[in-house]
Chain A
Amino acid sequence: MNTPVVSLSNAGKSYQQLDALKSVTMHLNQGEVMGLFGHNGAGKTTMMKLILGVISPSRGEVEVMGMAPDSKEAWHARSKVGYLPENVSFYEQLTGLEVLTYFAKLKGFSKKQAINLLEQVGITHAMKRQVKTYSKGMRQRLGLAQAFLGEPKLLLLDEPTVGLDPIATRDFYKTVDQLKSNGSSVILCSHVLPGVEQHIDRAMILSTGQLLAMGTLKELRQQAALPVAIKPSGLNGSVANDSRLNHFLTEHCPQTLMVPEHEKLSVLKQLLSHDTLEDLQVETANLEQVYQHFLSLHELSAHGKQHELGLHVKGEQN
């Protein structure tokens, strides 16, 4: 329980001139779901490959279940790891069942388990059809079934919800929650999205091979110190005339007050004292905004313009 399932210490990977992953230290505990966010080329896939043992780190150390994943000892641990690659098109000419049976056998499981998994991801009706007739969502489900083979202790999912309809997405997260409660650890890799927030324990933000931020969403929000957006309606410009409130208004959204977290309640109380108030919408910064914040922060520092003023302007625009 106490040894982390995955631990990276100053691990990095370089190809010739390119540092795909600079130096990352992270730990993933049993039963923890980690969201890994970053745009293309941020190093997400490189990090996954390091954890999977497909490539070896150029520096630092990677340990999965207490072993270096690229070593011989880790061989048997591989059947306890599930992976869904970002872009995979399974053997088109095979049927869904044949594809999954092939992968099941390679992991040491039976056809029966393959059938059960197909049922779990909801494509039993199409399992006797060739994969080339599958829709994008069905292919993604097949990929997920493949990753779920053998109740893995560690799951690495690259863009798992791409192409899934809302119901399938919900089912997917349900499965993740279920695996998590069974003690599996999950790394969810994404360009970021909606819906992922309530299913992850912690988030990591990567950009150009660097770790920008890591922590629970609450921690990240505090670090980012992003304002809360409060949108009152029915006040007819009285906010703009209120000297205590009007400095929260910004130019490009004159109806919305951008309020720092610690002043939220006092502003809300003032707004509530207006009789004409009809409605109030309060939005705390979501994951996407937090993500954008850290990225723009990183870009600023990359351009060597990081100073107080710059940060504030940038922060308020978000």
Chain B
Amino acid sequence: MRQILTVANKEFQDGLRNRWLISITLIFALLSIGLTYFGAAASGAVGVASLSTTVASLASLAVFLIPLIALLLSYDSFVGEQESGTLLLLLTYPLSKSQLLLGKFIGQGSIIALATLLGFGSSAVLLYFQLGDPAVLTSFSVFIVSAVLLGLSFTAISYIISLSVSEKSKAAGFALITWFLFALAFDLALLALLVGVEQGITQSGLTQLMMLNPADIFRLVNLSGLDSSDVNGALAVAINASLSQAQLFTALFAWVALPLTLAIFIFKRKKL
């Protein structure tokens, strides 16, 4: 455990030093405060938008941003150290591969989690003072917790990428493709399936397919409680299907645990 914490501490310090924490926090805070204040502009009004509009816009934005940031933060975690030779050196230390991986995960995960909490938390506090509605806090807790899980999930996915390639530039390429697939292509494919194939898929079938994408689970978690007027696309269909929040959170959690386990497995088999 001491070893894991040593590695985690180092990774966290790196995140601070490289200004990752501050810049992610700022991006999240600016976007969420902006959306909170001007989210209603599209419907012709300036001022604080309704809670559901705000959460819906935040979720649609976060679903692109968080995976991208997580992938950017961690894609070179292993391949970078492999290129500089420190990975081999670390493995001659009394430090197991899983300790190293978990240490990195805790360190970099803390950066993402803290940035999400501070960034989005700031607009939650703001909105709470404007609306005085305790529902703000519950919606935002759900939003923040799911956003953190989404970030952790993509951190774990980027470890798989980082451990499977031998060059940093390749890892960057794969990270970009992964982001494109999960954040954009997957939904387009679902939509095509819905529209293009008549009677091809049932509502519950669609929801099950969405479990294959952590980004979609994140959307479902945050949008299922809202008016469907704020939601469109393939999601609107899926939202009506019944999956409880607990089930969705479990699925999201599995999207953290499974890639992490797979990453450890790949690391253990990796030749150095």
Cβ contacts under 8 Å, B85 to chain A: 85-89
Q: Does B94 contact A (CB under 8 A)?
A: yes
| Contact of A88 with B93 at beta-carbon distance under 8 Å, contacts A93-B17, A93-B18 already known | no
- Cβ A85 vs Cβ B93 within 8 A: no
Q: Does B89 contact A (CB under 8 A)?
A: yes
B57-93 interface mask toward A, CB cutoff 8 Å, 1 = contact, 0 = none?
0000000000000000000000000001110111111
Q: Does A290 contact B (CB under 8 A)?
A: no
**Distance in Å from the Cβ of B85 to the closest Cβ of chain A?**
4
**Distance in Å from the Cβ of B6 to the closest Cβ of chain A?**
5
Count contacts on B: residues with CB < 8 A to the other chain: 21
Cβ contacts under 8 Å, A81 to chain B: 92
CA distance A89 to B89 in the complex (A): 11
Q: Does A199 contact B (CB under 8 A)?
A: no
Cβ contacts under 8 Å, A108 to chain B: 94
- Cβ A52 vs Cβ B3 within 8 A: no
Across the interface, name the chain B residue whose C-beta is closest to A82.
Answer: B92
| Contact of A85 with B94 at beta-carbon distance under 8 Å, contacts A15-B271, A55-B272, A102-B6 already known | no
Instruction: List B residues 213-227 near A (Cβ within 8 Å).
Output: none
Cβ contacts under 8 Å, A88 to chain B: 84-86, 88-89
Q: Does B188 contact A (CB under 8 A)?
A: no
Across the interface, name the chain A residue whose C-beta is closest to B103.
Answer: A106
- Cβ B84 vs Cβ A89 within 8 A: yes
Selecting from A72-80, A209-217, A261-269, the interface stretch reads A72-80
**Distance in Å from the Cβ of B115 to the closest Cβ of chain A?**
19
Which single member of B86, B91, B94, B271 contacts A107 (CB below 8 Å)? B94
Cβ contacts under 8 Å, A274 to chain B: none
Q: Does A105 contact B (CB under 8 A)?
A: yes
- Cβ A106 vs Cβ B94 within 8 A: yes
**Distance in Å from the Cβ of A20 to the closest Cβ of chain B?**
11
Cβ contacts under 8 Å, B168 to chain A: none
Cβ contacts under 8 Å, A86 to chain B: 85
Max chain A C-beta neighbours (<10 A), residue from B13, B92, B93, B95: B92
Q: Does B170 contact A (CB under 8 A)?
A: no
Count contacts on A: residues with CB < 8 A to the other chain: 29
**Distance in Å from the Cβ of A162 to the closest Cβ of chain B?**
13
Cβ contacts under 8 Å, B88 to chain A: 49, 54, 85, 88
Counting residue pairs across A and B whose Cβ atoms lie within 8 Å, the total is 61
Across the interface, name the chain A residue whose C-beta is closest to B272.
Answer: A54
CA distance A83 to B85 in the complex (A): 12
Q: Does A90 contact B (CB under 8 A)?
A: yes
CA distance A76 to B92 in the complex (A): 11
- Cβ B84 vs Cβ A90 within 8 A: yes
- Cβ A91 vs Cβ B18 within 8 A: no
Instruction: List A residues 76-121 near B (Cβ within 8 Å).
Output: 76, 78-79, 81, 83, 85-91, 93-94, 98, 102-103, 105-108
CA distance A119 to B197 in the complex (A): 72
**Distance in Å from the Cβ of A44 to the closest Cβ of chain B?**
14
Q: Does B167 contact A (CB under 8 A)?
A: no
CA distance A89 to B84 in the complex (A): 5
CA distance A75 to B88 in the complex (A): 16
- Cβ A52 vs Cβ B92 within 8 A: yes
- Cβ A55 vs Cβ B271 within 8 A: yes
CA distance A146 to B85 in the complex (A): 13
Which single member of A76, A90, A93, A103 contacts B14 (CB below 8 Å)? A93
CA distance A66 to B94 in the complex (A): 17
CA distance A76 to B3 in the complex (A): 13
CA distance A52 to B13 in the complex (A): 29
CA distance A265 to B65 in the complex (A): 82
* A-B CB contact pairs (8 Å), 19 listed: A49-B88, A54-B88, A54-B91, A55-B271, A55-B272, A75-B94, A78-B92, A88-B88, A89-B84, A91-B14, A91-B84, A91-B86, A93-B14, A102-B6, A102-B10, A103-B89, A106-B3, A106-B7, A106-B94
19 further contact pairs, Cβ within 8 A, besides A91-B86, A106-B95, A107-B93 = A54-B91, A55-B271, A76-B94, A78-B92, A81-B92, A83-B92, A85-B85, A85-B88, A86-B85, A88-B84, A88-B85, A88-B89, A89-B84, A90-B86, A91-B14, A93-B18, A102-B6, A105-B6, A107-B94
Chain A interfacial positions (CB closer than 8 Å to B): 15, 49, 52-55, 75-76, 78-79, 81, 83, 85-91, 93-94, 98, 102-103, 105-108, 146
Q: Which 9 A-B pairs have the closest CB atoms?
A: A88-B85, A78-B94, A89-B84, A52-B92, A105-B6, A83-B92, A106-B93, A85-B85, A87-B85
